[in-house]
Amino acid sequence: MKSGNGPGPGQGWFQTRGGNYLRGSIIGHGEVPLLQILRILKNADYSGVLSIEFEGLEDPLKAILIGLENLRRYLASV
């Protein structure tokens, strides 16, 4: 995320309704508190599906593999 107070960061970013800029990223490379979210799901006894979506600038297949590896490592730690 980049503040909307500065110049637009260019290609690959999109602007939110609040005026900030976001860019898709590989799981674990962004600012989403994944461990906290996974702990919440575990404490709620969630046993459903987790899916990976990728919209970043990196090669999609490589990014999904890296994201899957990160997600598996995070799941093993909670």
Q: Provide mean pLDDT across the span 55-72.
A: 95
Distance CA 1, CA 59 (A): 20
For the segment 51-76, the average pLDDT, to the nearest whole number, is 94
**The pLDDT value given to residue 5:** 95
pLDDT 10s digits, 3-55: 999 999 999 899 999 999 999 999 999 989 999 999 999 999 999 999 988 98
Give strand ranges (E) for 13-74.
14-15, 21-22
DSSP 6: S
Ordered by start, the domain boundaries in the chain are 24-77
pLDDT given for residue 1 in this prediction: 87
Stated pTM of the model: 0.82
Q: Which two tokens stand for residue 66?
A: 């890296």
* 51 touches 43 (CB < 8 A): no
